[in-house]
């Protein structure tokens, strides 16, 4: 919507024509966006709301034809409702109304139904935080109480650095990364892409030193809140000697990546004790991965554990408790014998794999055994082993692993961590308790 043909103002004297327009928007928008509430509920409240509107503090967005496109009702600093006509939605009108209201106050609050995911995302993009979850007394549906404070606006501008520490992305990946950028922006993040993303004539997007420096640039930038790696492959361990682990250790931001980035994630823990997230954000724009968007958004924006809550079954024992380390078995073993190998004592070891038939996985398990890892850890969590499970290899990975572990070592299996597009995430370097 062009701002030149739209004005926003406070309606001080509502005539019948404007009142009718407002109430039509109120009724139709409520019934469409709140389909989980009976339409009769809104119809029953129609006359009561209509009687209250002339006495309320109403702000309207109006076009050059004096047609009301949307409106907001305020009671002090409380937004009683914000509505945009269906025809005019997704054109910046809701944001324009919110921005206009913010100009004259330092704080705002509102209630929104939890099931109205679009509205929740909108308010989060506008800097509102969820302060409380409660049941709406009239409908019985869950709702959020959300607040915006002017002093929090800077903190809520969530910038995310995008890096490629392993194999460079090919030209065909550009469309995928553009869609990722659009998605992250839509949920209130501001993605900033590093310089070394795409490969040149070879698999490298830059030298080890250049890729490391690009990562450190985001760690040094105080406006960056999180760092997502969008790569995988074989090259990530090359950057490790060039990382400033003192700077990383003194930083609150978390690094996200999967597969080959297991090397970086475990090196960060080994050198700093800081956590990282084993997850590939590119999954979120894949067909299978979209089912995890709600978990991702609630975890990133509302601080829930939805993206980390996994289903599992025990192969042995009843409880896994300890700091979680590990990830991709092949890539983890690249760190063996180096200063970046994490101390395994008392840890819960996560293992998963993309490629690898029975002989390859057996080789990796032998190496872990010869490093005495299974004697040191407090438990083992198995993710997906894609090739073995897809090919229905025998023996299974569960049968293989039980040949190496002691009878009393707890072992659990989950299908929700690994290389599939619809998997969840694991926080490496933090304590978990599965029982």
User: Which residue, 363, 343, 405, 358, is CA-closest to 380?
Assistant: 405
What mean pLDDT do residues 145-156 have? 63
Band (pLDDT 50/70/90 cuts) for residue 299 is confident
What mean pLDDT do residues 143-166 have? 76
pLDDT, position 5: 57
Report the CATH superfamily, name and number, of domain 3-152. Answer: Gcn5-related N-acetyltransferase (GNAT) (3.40.630.30)
Annotated domain spans of the chain: 3-152, 158-302, 313-434
Query: How, if at all, do strands 78-84 and 68-75 pair?
Result: antiparallel
What mean pLDDT do residues 392-403 have? 96
**Number of residues in the chain:** 435
Residue 127 has pLDDT above 70, yes or no: yes
pLDDT, position 408: 87
Residue 403 has pLDDT above 90, yes or no: yes
Counting Cβ atoms within 10 Å, is residue 133 exposed (0-12), middle (13-18) or buried (19+)? exposed
Determine the Cα angle at 363 with ends 359 and 367, to 5°: 170
Tokens of 29: 């928008």
Residues 6+ apart with CB under 8 A from 42: 27, 30, 31, 34
Q: Are 287 and 266 in contact (CB under 8 A)?
A: no
Tokens of 15: 């005539």
User: Which residue, 240, 268, 285, is CA-closest to 327?
Assistant: 268
Q: Are 361 and 388 in contact (CB under 8 A)?
A: yes
More confident position, 300 or 386: 386
More confident position, 55 or 3: 55
Residue 158 has pLDDT above 80, yes or no: no
Residue 413 has pLDDT above 90, yes or no: yes
What mean pLDDT do residues 151-178 have? 81
- Phi, psi (5° rounding) for residue 320? -110, 120
Residue 402 has pLDDT above 90, yes or no: yes
What mean pLDDT do residues 172-191 have? 91
Band (pLDDT 50/70/90 cuts) for residue 298 is confident
Residue 152 has pLDDT above 70, yes or no: no
Q: Are 230 and 166 in contact (CB under 8 A)?
A: no
The percent of residues above 70 in pLDDT, for the chain, comes to 97
Pick 313-434's CATH classification: 3.40.50.720, 1.10.630.10, 3.50.30.60, 3.30.530.20.
3.50.30.60
More confident position, 180 or 55: 180
Residue 148 has pLDDT above 90, yes or no: no
Residue 154 has pLDDT above 70, yes or no: no
CA distance 264 to 395: 31
More confident position, 251 or 234: 234
Residue 367 has pLDDT above 60, yes or no: yes
Pick 158-302's CATH classification: 3.40.120.10, 3.40.50.300, 3.30.70.640, 3.40.50.10740.
3.40.50.10740
Give the chain's mean pLDDT: 91
Band (pLDDT 50/70/90 cuts) for residue 406 is confident
Give the 3-state DSSP-derived string for the chain, with helices as H, strands as E and coil as C.
CCHHHEEEEEECCCCHHHHHHHHHHHHHHHHHHCCCCCHHHHHHHHHHHHHHHHHCEEEEEEECCCCEEEEEEEECCEEEEEEECHHHCCCCHHHHHHHHHHCCCCEEEEEEECCCHHHHHHHHHCCCEEEEEEECCCCCCEEEEEEEEHHHCCCCCEEEEEECCCCCECCCHHHHHHHHHHHHHHCCEEEEECCCCECCCCCCCCCHHHHHHHHHHHHHCCCEEEEEECCCCCCHHHHHHHCCHHHHHCCCCEEEECHHHHHHHHHHHHHHCCCEEECCHHHHHCCCHHHHHHHHHHHHHHCCCCCCCCCCEEEECCCEEEEEEEEEHHHHHHHCCCCCCCCCCCCEEEEEECCCCHHHHHHHHHHHHHCCHHHHCCEEEEEEEHHHHHCCCCCCHHHHHCCCCCCCCCEEECCCCCCCCCCCCEEECCEEEEC
Number of other residues whose CB lies within 10 A of the CB of residue 87: 9
What mean pLDDT do residues 358-363 have? 97
CA distance 173 to 409: 42
In sequence order, what are the beta bridge partners of 97? none
CA distance 316 to 422: 26
Number of other residues whose CB lies within 10 A of the CB of residue 315: 16
**What are the pLDDT digits (tens) for 59-110?**
999 988 889 999 999 988 999 999 999 888 888 899 999 989 988 888 899 9
Residue 156 has pLDDT above 60, yes or no: no
pLDDT, position 302: 73
- Select, from the ranges 48-62, 92-106, 139-153, 258-272, the one with the highest average predicted confidence (pLDDT): 258-272
More confident position, 105 or 216: 216
Tell me the pTM. Answer: 0.67
More confident position, 15 or 238: 238
What mean pLDDT do residues 313-338 have? 96
What mean pLDDT do residues 309-317 have? 95
Band (pLDDT 50/70/90 cuts) for residue 349 is very high
Band (pLDDT 50/70/90 cuts) for residue 157 is very low
Tokens of 297: 């958004």
The percent of residues above 90 in pLDDT, for the chain, comes to 69
């Amino acid at each position: 919507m062009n701002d030149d043909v739209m004005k926003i103002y406070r309606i001080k004297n509502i005539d019948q024509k404007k009142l009718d327009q407002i109430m039509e928007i109120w009724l139709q928008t409520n019934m469409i966006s709140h389909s989980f509430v009976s339409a009769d509920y809104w119809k029953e409240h129609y006359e009561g709301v209509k009687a209250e509107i002339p006495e309320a503090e109403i702000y309207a967005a109006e076009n050059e034809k004096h047609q009301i496109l949307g409106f907001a009702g305020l009671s002090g600093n409380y937004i009683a409702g914000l509505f945009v006509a269906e025809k005019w939605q997704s054109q910046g009108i809701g944001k324009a109304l919110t921005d206009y209201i913010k100009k004259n106050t330092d704080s705002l609050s509102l209630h929104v139904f939890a099931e109205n995911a679009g509205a929740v995302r909108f308010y989060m993009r506008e800097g509102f935080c969820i302060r409380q979850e409660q049941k709406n007394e009239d409908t019985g549906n869950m709702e959020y109480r959300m607040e915006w404070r002017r002093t929090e606006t800077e903190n809520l501008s969530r910038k995310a650095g995008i890096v490629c520490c392993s194999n460079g992305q090919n030209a065909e990946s550009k469309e995928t990364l553009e869609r990722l950028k659009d998605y992250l922006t839509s949920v209130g993040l501001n993605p900033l892409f590093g310089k070394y993303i795409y490969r040149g004539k070879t698999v490298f997007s830059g030298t080890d030193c250049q890729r490391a420096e690009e990562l450190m640039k985001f760690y040094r930038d105080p406006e960056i809140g999180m760092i997502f790696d969008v790569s995988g492959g074989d090259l990530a361990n090359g950057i490790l000697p060039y990382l400033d682990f003192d700077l990383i250790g003194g930083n609150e931001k978390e690094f996200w990546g999967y597969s080959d980035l297991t090397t970086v994630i475990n090196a960060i823990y080994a050198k700093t004790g800081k956590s990282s997230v084993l997850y590939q954000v590119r999954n979120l724009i894949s067909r299978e991965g979209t089912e995890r968007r709600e978990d991702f958004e609630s975890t990133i924006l509302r601080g829930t554990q939805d993206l980390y809550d996994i289903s599992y079954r025990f192969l042995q024992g009843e409880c896994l408790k300890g700091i979680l380390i590990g990830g991709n078995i092949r890539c983890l073993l690249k760190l063996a014998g180096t200063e970046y190998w994490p101390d395994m004592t008392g840890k819960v070891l996560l293992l998963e794999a993309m490629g690898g038939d029975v002989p390859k996985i057996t080789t990796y398990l032998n190496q872990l055994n010869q490093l005495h890892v299974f004697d040191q850890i407090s438990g083992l969590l198995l993710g997906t082993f894609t090739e073995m499970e897809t090919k229905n290899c025998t023996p299974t990975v569960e049968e293989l692993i039980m040949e190496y572990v002691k009878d009393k070592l707890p072992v659990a299996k989950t299908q929700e961590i690994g290389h599939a597009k619809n998997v969840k995430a694991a926080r490496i370097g933090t304590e978990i308790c599965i029982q």
